[in-house]
Structure 1
Amino acid sequence: MVTLLLDSTQLEVVLSGAERAMAFRKGNVVIERSTIAKVQLTEDAWTWLRGIPSPGTHLRGVVAMGTWKSAGGEDFAIIRRHRPSVVIDLDGHPEFQRVILTTRHGLALVQALRVEVAAEAADVVEIAAETGTIPVPPAKKPRTRKAPAAAPAV
């Protein structure tokens, strides 16, 4: 899963090694805060995907990573399965018109973008938690399975 770092001037999408390989990208995606026009939460990022991967990886319904070219411009996507996502529309960004990311921290990102943050980059979840703008869910208990019952003796 991508890590989102936010400071007073930029949002940085930190990619893991596997994400970089699948997206055919050498570095992270850096977005100046002044170029962010709109941020939307969505349950299905696949509906926002437009164009063809160039370069990128696409397995329909499973994964879409990389740059997507269309008549509307270039988008950057990191989409996994049908999970909650965030769509960031950009205005004046030198590389992309839209960034689509599968992340469970979309609400934290939206709320962190509304808050003035320090000059030092921090994870969006930490920023939102510090300001008290999102509830932090308690840790889930691990599920335990019952042992299968022994077969009756015949």
Structure 2
Amino acid sequence: MVTLLLDATQLEVVLSGAERALARRHGSVTVDRAHISKVQLTDDAWNWLRGVPNPGTHVRGTIAMGTWRSSGGADFVIVRRRRPAVVIDLDGDPEFARLVLSTRHGRALVQALRLDPGDEVPHEVSALAASSA
């Protein structure tokens, strides 16, 4: 499961070693918070995939991880089975047009993005949402 870290300026998707290997990516995905244009929750992330993995790993119905390229741009995808997910549309990001991530912290991410963390220290999204409740 990906770890989502959020501070005043950016969202960081921290990948485990296995996720980095399957996504064929060396490090985390970092997105400027100002580039986030829309966040949607979904129960079926498979409907949101577009294009083909390049580079990445795809096992139909089981996992989809990596960069998915299509005519609409590049999406970063971490999808596992039929787990809840969050779809993050980006506007102006130099690397990705969208993030599609299986996470049980989708609602917490939406709540945390509405908050102003007020500092430059990254906080885990689930902790930010819990502290505001």
Same fold, judged at TM 0.5 (above) = yes
Q: How does 1:29-44 map to 2 (within 5 A)?
A: 29-44=29-44
Aligned to 2:112: 112
- After TM superposition, give the deviation of residue 41 of structure 1 in Å: 0.1
Aligned to 2:9: 9
Q: How does 1:52-131 map to 2 (within 5 A)?
A: 52-117=52-117, 118-131=119-132
Q: Select the structure of larger CA radius of gyration.
A: 1
Query: What are structure 2's unaligned runs of at least 5 residues?
Result: none
Normalized against structure 1, the TM-score is what? 0.85
CA RMSD of aligned residues (A): 0.4
Structure 2 distance, partners of 1:128, 1:59, is 33
Query: What are structure 1's unaligned runs of at least 5 residues?
Result: 133-154
AA at the equivalent of 1:43: D
Structure 1 distance, partners of 2:107, 2:19, is 22
Structure 1 residues 23-66: Cα deviation after superposition (integer angstroms, max 9, x where no partner): 00001000100000000000000000000000000000000000
User: How many residue pairs align between the two structures?
Assistant: 132
Deviating 4+ runs (over 4 angstroms): none
Structure ranking higher in strand proportion: 2
Structure 1 distance, partners of 2:54, 2:34, is 26
AA at the equivalent of 1:15: L
Aligned to 1:139: none
Structure 2 distance, partners of 1:100, 1:129, is 23
